A and B are shown apart, each in its own frame.
Chain A
Amino acid sequence: MSDTRNADTDGGTDATTGTDAERFEAVVVGAGPGGAAAAAVLADNGVETLVLERGVEAGSKNVSGGLIYAGKSAAYTADDLFPGFREEATERPVTRNYMDNVAGDEVHTIDLKRVHEHDTAWVDSVLRRRMDSWLAERVHERTAEAGGGLLTDVRVNGLLWEDGEAVGVTCDKLDPIRADVVIAADGVNSELARAAGLMDWEEPDEWFQGVKAVVDVEPDVIADRFDVAEDEGVARLFGGDLFDGVRGGGFLYTNRDSLSIGTVFHLDSLAEERAEPHELLDGLLTHPHLGQWLPDEYSEREYSAKLVPDSKKVAHGSPHRDRMLLVGDAAGQMQAQGPIIKGMNHAVNAGGLAAEAYVEAKSRNAPHSAGELYASKLREEGVMDELRPTRYEVTRRLSESDAVTNVLDSVARSSVGRFGLRATGGLAARLFNSPFVLGMIPDTRTSYVTVPTVLAEELGERATGANDADPPTLEERIGELTYDTDVGNPHIELVDESFEASGVAVTACPVSAEGFGGGCYREETVRVNGGEERVVSLDTQPCVECGTCAVVADTEWTHPRGGKGVAFDEG
């Protein structure tokens, strides 16, 4: 009511033509690490920059595992761009890294020190609400100085087109905005990348889904159980037969006064196995091996989930169109180096490079060439090769075929294979520590499930001690989340409600489950013409905006309108 009433007293611009649109030199969409880095570099170069973030606060929509890396060879890192970053925005420097291979109760641990330190200046654990809102404050100060600023609670809902060219953005609550350059750092569910035809959400095997619990722990309990000082932290990864054969793994990172424990799975595998992400997470949380680290009283601060792109498959070689440049997850720049996940650092680096490209292009009086320049910087800086290693392209065709996987699996499981692994236990550790090998690791059962399982069976030791953690039910987890629901304005529409087309969403959606009526997707049987039909129905109220159903089901998917939907407190 009030919107329409006020429209013409606002000097209303025509949202369709945008002829009258407000203008900024640069518009950055999204205030995650990618957007923050881009905006900082633009502002520092005197570019008038407006940053638009849809969350009520930067970080309220974001989830990561999360370890933020600073690459030694990266052009831009978070602490370079934002002085004080490590002291004020992160949780703990990670000083120890392990991989735990699990088979039943048997656990075999590999020290991942080497791979972890490869080309790494530092690694810190982070929680996104805290980190992103800290960054956003700095970004606002710096962009305001250059004549712009950062606004939260504004969702960009599309591109502003003029003669078939994208020349700016349109928003839910603001008049259209023109810009000489648009940096789309709007994350994995980038509506802008889709609008520009640079990304589709068709193939489940191009994505991972991550689910995470933040567990409340006193700092002295962390010190005690992990044997670390205040300024030290631990990262552990988990693989093996913990996850019902679903391809992927688990992680545990120490924060200041909490633990981030989660799982990341190939979305195609999750969908195929009809696995329930929250149950797989519970499998990890309640495994006897984890008992030694969890506090006596298990208490979860937050349950969260999100998709991540697999850069090996979707990193865009030429992530730009017209005057829009994609950075970070929006460009598919999320690197899964075997079990090690690197997305935030690439987003920061790409954000910096995109901004730099624009500044250079402008100084040559050719702002339109910013996109090309950015793409060539990604290549020249070696970013593209890290994201999509050529050797992976070569090995994948062979290793990802079912026939080869089955043979390899059988070999690994055979007595010969077992003997080999026993004999070369040390070698396995060296292989896991090789970034070169990890870069070409095939995304198959063999590497995620079989080898870790056999390693644990052959070389592992029985996990002693008890784990009496009692994680909350899905219903309790959803109930604890903060939502500003958009009743009557669903942000997802189910296009095909048949079970064949969209049924997998019931299990794959992290806040839905088979036989559970309080989540987003539900299976229903309806009577049609005397017969019965299985259909799915959707209620978006408890949606955590992970994006899963956009890929696995037949939906029209957008983000909730500005500021609406879930707001994570931890992330």
Chain B
Amino acid sequence: MHTVVLTKGVPDFREGKVSFDEDGHLERGNTPTTMNPNDEHALRAALQTRVRHGGRVDVMSMGPPGYTSVLREAMESVYADDLFLISDKQFAAADTWATAITLATAIQHLGEPSLIFAGFKTADGETGHTGPQTCWCLDMPLITHVVALDVDEEAERVRAKRLVEGDVSEIETVEAPLPAFVVADPEFEPSYRTARHRLERKRLRAEARERAETAEEEVTFWDHAELNLDPDYVGLDGSPTIVESVDPIPKAPSEREATVVDPGDPEAMGEVVDELAPFAGGD
């Protein structure tokens, strides 16, 4: 079973180092990149499929060369095999549509994978479009909001449980022929209920740990020429979306000034008590 997972690097907002230029565009150079948190669920779904049915998991991302760290993360966390980075100046500033065309082309370039996984929306753009649009380009059945799945290899079908309208209490089971495109929900829980699956996962982990050491050197880069893509249809030029303006994220309140008080100084301590007294009364 050959599966492909799409993953994206997003600015690591946790670090508090996000910076924007004067026009309100993200300054990627100054912002550390991390894996889009929602993609982890897609990766887990792919790993579960591989553990149960064998085969391989390839991870693909489109973005600047620095995204190799994200691909490495994928290899470490879910033991991916081959890593692909679709990277070219021509792809810069692509909207979801131009991204979808590029990714779909790259996936076809890989051959014919049986399952393609994508995460549920990115932490930066939050559109949730890229997965479904890529799927549309590939002309495959699409199953979204997937929380559990199982593949019937013989029948070449995938059966999945999905949340209906994002509600955990309503789950429907659907089936689709392979190849299919799956968008994993953040509620996705991989499950390994047999010892053989657990052992296989453990084996893959040990193997991937070794591979991950040189992961960044092993990434395959593809540019528009390699994928035979017309620059007019990708990147900014191929993007029908026009961004009118960007609202900067409001800044956190500035830090208040601190006063250092010597606990041995009765007068200063008296002032502290006076300051605190009103709160002691529950005000």
A residues sitting closer than 8 Å to B (CB atoms) are 1-3, 5-6, 9-12, 22, 24, 50, 52, 140, 144, 148-149, 151, 154, 173-175, 177
- Report which of B168, B193, B199 forms a contact with A149, defined as CB distance below 8 A: B199
Shortest B21–chain A CB gap in Å is 43
State in angstroms the CA–CA spacing of A12 and B196 once bound together.
14
Set of chain B residues within 8 Å of A6, measured between Cβ atoms: 148, 189, 191, 193
Q: Can you offer 8 A-B residue contacts whose CB atoms are under 8 A?
A: A1-B168, A2-B191, A3-B191, A5-B171, A6-B148, A10-B191, A11-B150, A175-B193
Chain B 182-224, CB within 8 Å of chain A: the 1/0 string? 0000010101011110110011000000000000000000000
Count contacts between A and B, CB distance < 8 Å.
Answer: 57
- Report which of A9, A148, A154 forms a contact with B148, defined as CB distance below 8 A: A9
Q: Which of B137-173 contact A (CB under 8 A)?
A: 147-150, 159, 161, 168, 171
Set of chain B residues within 8 Å of A140, measured between Cβ atoms: 202
19 new A-B contacts at CB < 8 Å, known A6-B193, A9-B191, A148-B199: A2-B191, A5-B147, A5-B148, A5-B189, A6-B148, A6-B191, A10-B193, A22-B194, A22-B196, A24-B195, A50-B199, A52-B195, A149-B199, A149-B203, A151-B195, A151-B202, A154-B195, A174-B193, A175-B193
B interface: dominant SS: mixed
B residues sitting closer than 8 Å to A (CB atoms) are 147-150, 159, 161, 168, 171, 187, 189, 191, 193-196, 198-199, 202-203
**Given A154-B198, A174-B193, A177-B195, residue A144 in contact with residue B161 (CB < 8 A):** no
**Given A6-B148, A148-B199, residue A173 in contact with residue B168 (CB < 8 A):** no
Set of chain A residues within 8 Å of B193, measured between Cβ atoms: 6, 10, 12, 173-175
State in angstroms the CA–CA spacing of A151 and B191 once bound together.
15
Set of chain B residues within 8 Å of A22, measured between Cβ atoms: 194-196
Shortest B220–chain A CB gap in Å is 31
State in angstroms the CA–CA spacing of A175 and B195 once bound together.
8
Evaluate contact between B189 and A174: CB separation under 8 angstroms: no
State in angstroms the CA–CA spacing of A301 and B142 once bound together.
54
Evaluate contact between A144 and B199: CB separation under 8 angstroms: yes
User: Which A-chain residue is minimally distant from B159 (CB atoms)?
Assistant: A9
Evaluate contact between A151 and B171: CB separation under 8 angstroms: no
Evaluate contact between B194 and A175: CB separation under 8 angstroms: yes
Give 3 nearest A-B pairs by CB, closest first: A2-B189, A6-B191, A9-B150
User: Which B-chain residue is minimally distant from A5 (CB atoms)?
Assistant: B148
Set of chain B residues within 8 Å of A3, measured between Cβ atoms: 191
Evaluate contact between B189 and A151: CB separation under 8 angstroms: no
Set of chain B residues within 8 Å of A154, measured between Cβ atoms: 195, 198
Shortest B143–chain A CB gap in Å is 13
State in angstroms the CA–CA spacing of A174 and B191 once bound together.
10
Set of chain B residues within 8 Å of A11, measured between Cβ atoms: 150
Evaluate contact between A149 and B194: CB separation under 8 angstroms: no
Set of chain A residues within 8 Å of B202, measured between Cβ atoms: 140, 149, 151
State in angstroms the CA–CA spacing of A154 and B192 once bound together.
12
Evaluate contact between B150 and A151: CB separation under 8 angstroms: no
State in angstroms the CA–CA spacing of A1 and B171 once bound together.
12
Set of chain A residues within 8 Å of B191, measured between Cβ atoms: 2-3, 6, 9-10
Set of chain B residues within 8 Å of A1, measured between Cβ atoms: 168
Set of chain A residues within 8 Å of B159, measured between Cβ atoms: 9
Shortest B182–chain A CB gap in Å is 13
State in angstroms the CA–CA spacing of A173 and B190 once bound together.
13
Shortest A182–chain B CB gap in Å is 13
State in angstroms the CA–CA spacing of A536 and B161 once bound together.
47
Set of chain B residues within 8 Å of A149, measured between Cβ atoms: 195, 199, 202-203
Shortest B185–chain A CB gap in Å is 11
Set of chain A residues within 8 Å of B195, measured between Cβ atoms: 22, 24, 50, 52, 149, 151, 154, 174, 177
- Report which of A2, A9, A12, A151 forms a contact with B198, defined as CB distance below 8 A: A151
User: Which A-chain residue is minimally distant from B198 (CB atoms)?
Assistant: A151
**Given A5-B189, A9-B149, A144-B199, residue A174 in contact with residue B194 (CB < 8 A):** yes
Set of chain A residues within 8 Å of B149, measured between Cβ atoms: 9
- Report which of B147, B168, B199 forms a contact with A151, defined as CB distance below 8 A: B199
Set of chain A residues within 8 Å of B187, measured between Cβ atoms: 2
Set of chain A residues within 8 Å of B198, measured between Cβ atoms: 151, 154, 174
Evaluate contact between B203 and A144: CB separation under 8 angstroms: yes
State in angstroms the CA–CA spacing of A100 and B192 once bound together.
53
Shortest B164–chain A CB gap in Å is 13
Shortest A348–chain B CB gap in Å is 24
Set of chain B residues within 8 Å of A173, measured between Cβ atoms: 193
Shortest A18–chain B CB gap in Å is 13
Evaluate contact between B199 and A10: CB separation under 8 angstroms: no
Shortest A51–chain B CB gap in Å is 10
Shortest A471–chain B CB gap in Å is 30
State in angstroms the CA–CA spacing of A140 and B199 once bound together.
10
State in angstroms the CA–CA spacing of A144 and B203 once bound together.
9
Evaluate contact between B199 and A5: CB separation under 8 angstroms: no
Set of chain A residues within 8 Å of B150, measured between Cβ atoms: 9-11
Shortest B203–chain A CB gap in Å is 7
Set of chain A residues within 8 Å of B148, measured between Cβ atoms: 2, 5-6, 9
User: Which A-chain residue is minimally distant from B189 (CB atoms)?
Assistant: A2
State in angstroms the CA–CA spacing of A1 and B167 once bound together.
13
Shortest B180–chain A CB gap in Å is 15
- Chain A CB within 10 Å — which of B149, B150, B196 has the most? B196
User: Which A-chain residue is minimally distant from B160 (CB atoms)?
Assistant: A9
State in angstroms the CA–CA spacing of A6 and B44 once bound together.
14
